[in-house]
Chain A
Amino acid sequence: MAAIDETLDPRGALLQGATRSPAVELRDVTVVYPGGNVGLDGASATIGRGEFAFLVGQTGCGKSTFIKLLLREMDPSRGKVLIAGRDIVELPRKKIPKLRRNIGVVFQDYKLLPNRTIYDNVAYTLKVIGASRSEIKSKVPEILRLVGLSTKLNSYPDELSGGEQQRVSLARAFVNHPPLLLADEPTGNLDPETSIGIMQLLYRMNRTGTTVIVATHDNEMVDRMRRRVIELHEGRVVRDEASGMYAG
């Protein structure tokens, strides 16, 4: 979490050892959408550093709202959203890009840049953070090798299968080794076999110390992985188990 600490608090490096605040903490968060729909209703959850957690629940239970809050794509109506111990709701707008550079994100629909090659899609993240050319040249092929796409560097996203596209998006999310990785239905569009591959990659990334939060309704996957499960229902946390199953 060092990088996020620095973003949020210039003295973060000093405080970090003493406090070891959790990676992510929601305190009594309520989100009401402009139309009146409730995204989250007094939800609280704490996810420690290096943890791997599933967010489960039916469509509309608040999983995506949870993810969006952490990215500061929206503000809660009430409550606190803490990353590395700092309330990101109070983060000035100008600092939002810096926050996001320290969070890797993966979506159900991959969200790749359609008119860039696989290589350039991944390299863009590094260019955004101001990485040097030599750094980009060494890191991009390396991460693409990790996700098993080293032969497709010059392909365009629409030339790849869904599983391959999701691997690219994983590579993009992880290329600068962010302390926090969020995945919103990463296997939602994929067949079970391909999904296992994606989950294995997420697991490997988690083992390097990155905190991973996966929102999913893929019960098979959750049951197989036996990791922490936070279940949401109508915006509330109704279950939180250390090594749970999809259905409690």
Chain B
Amino acid sequence: MKLFFFLREALRALRRNAAPSLAAIATVLITTLVLGVFIPVVRAATAKTNEVRNKIELEVFINDDASRAEVTELGNMIRDIRHVESTEFVSKAQALRILKRRLGDKSSITEDLPGNPLPRSYRIKLDDPQNADVVKSSLAPVGPSGEARPISPAIQEIKNREDDTEKILSATSTIKILLASLAGLLVLASVLLVANTIRLSIFARRREVEVMRLVGATNWFIRWPFVIEGLLVGFLGGAAAVGLLWIVKVTVVDEWSDRFALIAAPDTIRFSLLVIVLLGTATAVSAIGSGITLRRFLRV
């Protein structure tokens, strides 16, 4: 069976060239390890920035003297505005609870308040944070006098934390671009490093390839063992990296996850998926790399 012959040839090459084989496996291991750490971090960071972006919302504070009917009507009006995804009514009591939660252990100072000074409000979620200004001007269109007039007398104030919004939007898109280019560079560096390692190990055996050609071996007959060798190197290196990642995950990440918001972000890549991606990439890159690199030595 030819497949077994090729497999035996590949295994023999690995055994007989132990030092370069180990170097290749180590290279794959290290690059996979770096990728394995970087991918979840990027995923978590992206998830976090998205979360921050989605937090941008408008708040419409309501006059304390507005009637229940006026408040309900205002709610319906807001829901009819374009780009509004959902609204949430916050009562005075709820507002106070939120404030207390934010103050944490200093929440007792609210006990000293004479009553509840916090206004009722509507929290508006937008379909896209970019539309905040449009929705705001729909809530308070600019009148002929050049002054913005709220659409309902129940509105006391509209807040979109304008400055913050701008800052968050530009900061998050910068972070996204930065992470994407970092990830791209890292993948490129990994592929180049693996390709170089493969080239060195094949270069060391170019005489062998020459002899094979002279006794009449076809190019694929020469190539298959190298491809299988690359496959094995990629798989072994990838598997070792995944094993290390798993140990780190169990001993460090899982233990500490509740203490680090970044790691605990709900949107980090699933570990099983990460394993599949890393193993698949490591194996494919080194197998295909071997096959392609060999081409140079197969020219007659």
A residues engaging B (CB < 8 A)?
71-73, 93, 96-103, 105, 111-115, 124-125, 127-129, 172
* Cα distance, A98 to B208, chains bound together (Å): 19
A73 close to B300 (CB less than 8 A): yes
9 contacts across the A-B interface (CB closer than 8 A): A96-B300, A97-B219, A98-B216, A100-B213, A101-B216, A113-B208, A115-B13, A124-B215, A127-B5
Contacts of A101 in B (CB 8 A): 215-216
Q: Does B214 have its Cβ within 8 Å of any Cβ on chain A?
A: yes
B215 close to A115 (CB less than 8 A): no
Q: Which of B210, B217, B300 contacts A128 (CB 8 A)?
A: B217
Contacts of B17 in A (CB 8 A): 115
Q: Does B212 have its Cβ within 8 Å of any Cβ on chain A?
A: yes
Q: Does B207 have its Cβ within 8 Å of any Cβ on chain A?
A: yes
Q: Which of A102, A105, A129 contacts B214 (CB 8 A)?
A: A105
Q: Hey, what's the 0/1 contact readout for B198-241 against A, CB within 8 Å counting as 1?
A: 00000000011011111111110100000000000000000000
B216 close to A128 (CB less than 8 A): yes
A111 close to B216 (CB less than 8 A): no
Contacts of A129 in B (CB 8 A): 216
Q: Does B102 have its Cβ within 8 Å of any Cβ on chain A?
A: no
Q: Which of B12, B210, B218, B219 contacts A111 (CB 8 A)?
A: B210
B residues engaging A (CB < 8 A)?
5, 12-13, 16-17, 207-208, 210-219, 221, 300
Give the tally of cross-chain contacts (CB within 8 A): 50
Besides A97-B213, A115-B16, 12 new A-B residue pairs in contact (Cβ under 8 A), listed by A number: A72-B300, A97-B216, A97-B221, A99-B216, A102-B216, A103-B216, A111-B214, A113-B212, A115-B13, A124-B215, A125-B215, A128-B212
Contacts of B211 in A (CB 8 A): 111-113
* Cα distance, A101 to B216, chains bound together (Å): 5
* Cα distance, A113 to B205, chains bound together (Å): 10
Say whether chain B's binding surface is mostly helix, strand, loop, or mixed: helix
Closest CB of chain B to A98's CB: distance in Å? Answer: 7
Closest CB of chain B to A197's CB: distance in Å? Answer: 23
Q: A-B pairs with the 9 shortest C-beta distances? A: A101-B216, A100-B216, A115-B16, A128-B217, A97-B218, A97-B216, A125-B215, A111-B211, A113-B208
* Cα distance, A141 to B222, chains bound together (Å): 24
| A72-B300, A73-B300, A127-B5 known; A97-B210 Cβ under 8 A | no
* Cα distance, A128 to B221, chains bound together (Å): 7
B300 close to A93 (CB less than 8 A): yes
Contacts of A127 in B (CB 8 A): 5
Contacts of B221 in A (CB 8 A): 97, 128
Contacts of A124 in B (CB 8 A): 212, 215
B16 close to A100 (CB less than 8 A): no
* Cα distance, A100 to B212, chains bound together (Å): 10
Contacts of B217 in A (CB 8 A): 97, 128
Closest CB of chain B to A112's CB: distance in Å? Answer: 7
Contacts of B214 in A (CB 8 A): 71, 100, 105, 111
Closest CB of chain B to A157's CB: distance in Å? Answer: 11
Closest CB of chain A to B258's CB: distance in Å? Answer: 54
A100 close to B300 (CB less than 8 A): no
A128 close to B16 (CB less than 8 A): no
B215 close to A172 (CB less than 8 A): yes
| A101-B215, A124-B212, A128-B217 known; A111-B300 Cβ under 8 A | no
Contacts of A128 in B (CB 8 A): 212, 215-217, 221
Contacts of A114 in B (CB 8 A): 207-208
Whose C-beta in chain A lies nearest to the C-beta of B205? A115
Whose C-beta in chain B lies nearest to the C-beta of A104? B215
* Cα distance, A72 to B219, chains bound together (Å): 15
Contacts of A111 in B (CB 8 A): 207, 210-211, 214
Contacts of B216 in A (CB 8 A): 97-103, 125, 128-129
* Cα distance, A125 to B216, chains bound together (Å): 8
